[in-house]
Amino acid sequence: MRRLSRRSLLALLGSGAAGLVFGGRADAQVTPPGARALPSFTGPGPNPYWNGINPFVIYPQKLPLLRMTDRGIQLETPRPYFLTPFTPNAAFYVRYHLDLIPNAVDLSTWRLSVEGNVERPLRLGFDELVKKYKAVSVAAVNQCSGNSRSRFQPRVPGAQWGNGGMGNARWTGVRLRELLASAGIKSGTVQLQFQGLDRGPGPEGKGADAVMKSLDLMDPALDDALVAYLMNDEPLPMLNGFPVRLVVPGKFGVYWTKHLTWIRALTSEDTSYWMASAYRIPDTPTANTTPAAAASGTLKTVPIGHVRMPVRSFIVVPDGSSKLPSGLPVRVQGIAFSGDGPVVKVEFSEDDGRSWVEATLGADHGPYSFRTWEHIWKPSRPGKHVIAVRATDVQGNVQPDAPVWNPGGYLWNRIEREALIVGAAS
Amino acid sequence: MTRHRSLAIGLLAAAGALASASTALSQATKVPGVIQEGNYDPGNLGMSMQPAPRNDDAGAVYAVGAWPTYTPPLVDGDGKALVQSFCGICHSTTYITMQPPLPGATWEHLVDKMIGTFGAPIPEPAAQAIIAYLKSHYTPETRKE
């Protein structure tokens, strides 16, 4: 058993001395009763689990979520919350880059600024934003660029998400284009830069003091963008960007600036760290490359904002936690989405991807939303079965069965599988 | 009062009956299909109390409690205190334990990035000690926990 400091020993005693049984894990983590715990890390092979391997923790306004990091805060949504097309706010994943995250916001002094190369700089109070502008709603998936990064081979550093770095919500707020019209964007504007209240303790201007992201002024994705003050018809949880966040349907979450407070019209391309160095993908089809090409230093890259989220689909249940009796119909359920227009087809395979049948789609909540799907599967042979799912979007994009690799760990959308044990029924 | 007492006595009697039934193991195994029953684990491991509703005032300040930290311990070894103090300026060391085992060269690159790109104020000897610590405990060859 590892040596314990007096303080950690006291912490252990406080949380139940039975924790001492697990001598190798002398943190205050506890093993789920009646079960083995997942390992404390995975690798160098891929993470084989649906979610990352992290423990359940509780944060303000949140249900128990999977703690990836605690300062800054990164929390993954557990698999069962994806059974419904809309992810509950209390279960919605959290991803910050820096650690100075607001605990309290005063709406009597908070203002949303629209500034830079504009005719009439705006400083809007929360009530002004809500009352003066037309409320618009959109159902849209917010997915971290690095969702499923723990699948990469070889592994790459970064947030080691399983599949739970995503969520779908009905966002309500003001059209970004309406705010821009109100401020009067002047000619010569090339990009819009977005910045929120969250920041970090690093020195100014190097990327560790603030996160700023920019999109081209003429990017069609901005036509659908909202400055949202409601999430699933409720105020945003603090950890999801209270009081308002940017919503850019179809684009990865990194552009959905939380606690949005500054919108700047730029007359030249944003060259700050978060655009010029971070969140860049190889300028190749599907952003695929090799470790050798990445190490060569000659790889041409573009900001991840140049692409929309590729089509994905997931199996939510059955999740492999229970043995399935043979001969019993199993309702296989999941979700699918694409940043490139609606999902038009979801296919199910009972034989590891060798043959496919079309699954039944659930209600249509719009082109950017999760779309639920289901298929009744009746396994007759006891033994191990591998089921799979793949989706096709309106552009004809089909999920590939080959992994992607790039040094940032972005854009994973390989066909998902679930291994299941079917037992004898007599 | 009397009724309550008799109810309590009745419950006690029922509990006693259950206890004697469960000790008679041969009885339990005669329930068709049951291979094991009444298997409980002791203790309150894994329980968390629910948060109480907040008693906010009607003003314009919207607040939540402190962000809790859940930082797993680092492996003991030379350089651990330097890692905790320097890396901890900007982020918890959960950013280290959360990673898969990474090659030594990758750790070196990451420490260089924290200093060169992000401006972490880490003196050169401390940076070397931090890299040595990470290589000693968090690579595919060395990582144990």
pLDDT value at position A36? Answer: 87
Neighbours of A230 (CB within 10 A): 18
- Neighbouring C-beta atoms of residue A359, cutoff 10 Å: 25
Give yes or no for a contact between A92 and A246, defined as CB atoms under 8 angstroms apart: no
The domain of B103 spans 80-137
Which residue type, as a one-letter code, is found at position B140?
P
A381: pLDDT strictly greater than 60: yes
- A357-358, strands of its sheet edge to edge: A324-325, A416-423, A383-393, A343-349, A357-358
Nearest to A273 among B44, B65, B117 (CB): B117
pLDDT score of A327 more than 90:
yes
Among residues A124, A121, A102, the alpha carbon closest in space to that of A111 is found at A124
Cβ proximity of A400 and A286 under 8 Å:
yes
Whether residue A392 is contained in a domain is answered as yes
Contact indicator for A58, B51 with CB cutoff of 8 Å: yes
Could you give the CA distance from residue A58 to residue A77 in angstroms, rounded to a whole number? 12
The Cα–Cα gap between B126 and B90 comes to 16
Answer yes or no: do A263 and A338 share one domain: no
Has residue B3 got a pLDDT over 70?
Answer: no
Shared-domain flag, residues A219 and A318: no
Establish if B116 belongs to a structural domain. Answer: yes
pLDDT of residue B28: 53
Within this chain, do residues A27 and A126 fall inside the same structural domain, yes or no? no
In a domain, B131, yes or no: yes
Amino acid at A293: A
- Beta strands A280-282; A383-393: pairing state: unpaired
From B43, B61, B102, residue closest to A104, measured CB to CB? B61
- Name which residue leads in pLDDT, A147 or B48: A147
Range of lowest pLDDT (A379-383, B8-12, B102-106): B8-12
Structural domain contains residue B31: no
A266 and A348 in a single domain? The answer is no
A175-A170-A130 Cα angle (round to 5): 40
Predicted confidence (pLDDT) per residue in A236-262, tens digit = 999 999 999 999 999 999 999 999 999
Residue A377 forms part of a structural domain: yes
Region of A334 (left: φ > 0; alpha: ψ -120 to 50; beta: rest) is beta
B145 Cβ under 8 Å from any chain A Cβ: yes
Please, are residues A252 and A304 in contact by the beta-carbon 8 Å criterion?
Answer: yes
Global pTM value: 0.90
Query: Which spans in A25-175 are helix H?
Result: 126-132
Per-residue pLDDT tens digits for B80-127: 999 999 999 999 999 999 999 999 999 999 999 999 999 999 999 999
Closest CB to A60 among B64, B90, B98: B64
pLDDT at B49 (0 to 100): 87
Per-residue model confidence (pLDDT) at position A51 = 98
Q: List all residues of chain B from 55 to 84 with a beta carbon under 8 Å from chain A.
A: 59-73, 76
- pLDDT tens figures, A38-67: 999 999 999 999 999 999 999 999 999 999
Q: Domain check: are A318 and A202 in the same one?
A: no
Residue A407: what residue type? P
Say yes or no to pLDDT of A305 above 70: yes
Which of A136, A177, A339 has its CA nearest to residue A263?
Answer: A177
Does B4 map to a domain?
Answer: no
pLDDT range class, residue A264, cuts 50, 70, 90:
very high
- With contact defined as beta carbons under 8 Å apart, do B74 and B85 qualify? no
Can you give the residue range of the structural domain that contains A27?
1-37
State mean pLDDT over A9-19: 35
Domain containing residue A318: CATH number: 2.60.40.650
What is the structure's pLDDT at A19?
A: 31
pLDDT of residue B37: 77
pLDDT at B41: 67
Whole-number average pLDDT of chain B: 84
Identify whether B72 is part of a domain. Answer: no
Number of domains chain B contains: 1
Query: How much of chain A, in percent, has pLDDT values that exceed 90?
Result: 91
Number of residues written out for chain A: 426
The residues in B 33-52 lying below 8 A from A, measured between CB atoms, are 39, 41-46, 48, 51
> What pLDDT does residue A22 have?
34
Interface test with A, best of B41, B49, B61, B64 (most A CBs within 10 A): B64
Residue-level pLDDT at A201: 95
Q: Report which of residues B16 and A205 the model is more confident about.
A: A205
Residues A221 and A346 in one domain: no
Percent of chain A surpassing pLDDT 70: 93
Tell me: pLDDT of A12 over 80. Answer: no
Q: Is the ipTM of this complex over 0.85?
A: yes
B100/A202 CB distance under 8 A: no
Residue A226 placed within a domain: yes
Structural domain contains residue A103: no
Say which range, A25-29, A323-327, A337-341, has the weakest mean pLDDT: A25-29
Please indicate, yes or no, if residue A219 is contained in any of the structural domains. Answer: yes
Q: Which residues of B touch A61 (CB under 8 A)?
A: 64
Q: Is the pLDDT of residue A395 over 80?
A: yes
Say which residue, B47 or A161, is predicted with more confidence.
A161
Answer whether residue A66 is part of any domain.
Answer: no
Q: B61: which chain A residues are within 8 Å (Cβ-Cβ)?
A: 104-108
Any residues with CB less than 8 A from the CB of A274 and at least 6 apart, and which? A207, A211, A212, A213
CA distances from B63 to A220, A242, B41, B59, B66 (A): 36, 10, 39, 11, 9
Q: How many domains does chain A have?
A: 3
Which chain A residues are closer than 8 Å to B95 by Cβ?
69
The predicted structure's pLDDT at residue B32: 82
| pLDDT at position B1 over 60 | no
Interface of B with A in 85-144 (CB under 8 A): 89-92, 94-95, 97-102, 106, 110, 117-120, 140, 143
Contacts of A150 in chain B (CB under 8 A): 100
Residues of A in contact with B71 (CB under 8 A): 70-71
Assign residue B99 the CATH number of its domain: 1.10.760.10
Higher-pLDDT residue of B43 and B40 is B40
CA angle A53–A62–B59, rounded 5-degree value = 155
Q: What is the pLDDT of residue A10?
A: 35
Among B91, B99, B121, which Cα is nearest to A206's?
A: B121
* SS3 state of residue A343: strand
High-pLDDT (> 90) share of chain B, %: 64
pLDDT in tens, A347-373: 999 999 999 999 999 999 999 999 999
Domain shared by A319 and A207, yes or no: no
Each residue of A68-107: pLDDT tens digit? Answer: 999 999 999 999 999 999 999 999 999 999 999 999 999 9
Is pLDDT at B6 greater than 90 in this prediction?
Answer: no
- Which residue in the block uniquely carries the two structure tokens 């160095």? A277
- How far is the C-alpha of B97 from the C-alpha of A150, rounded, in Å? 14
Own/partner contacts of A13-21, CB < 8 Å, gap of 24 or more, are A15/B45, A16/B43, A16/B44, A16/B45, A18/B42, A18/B43, A18/B45, A19/B45
Task: Confirm whether B104 is domain-assigned.
Answer: yes
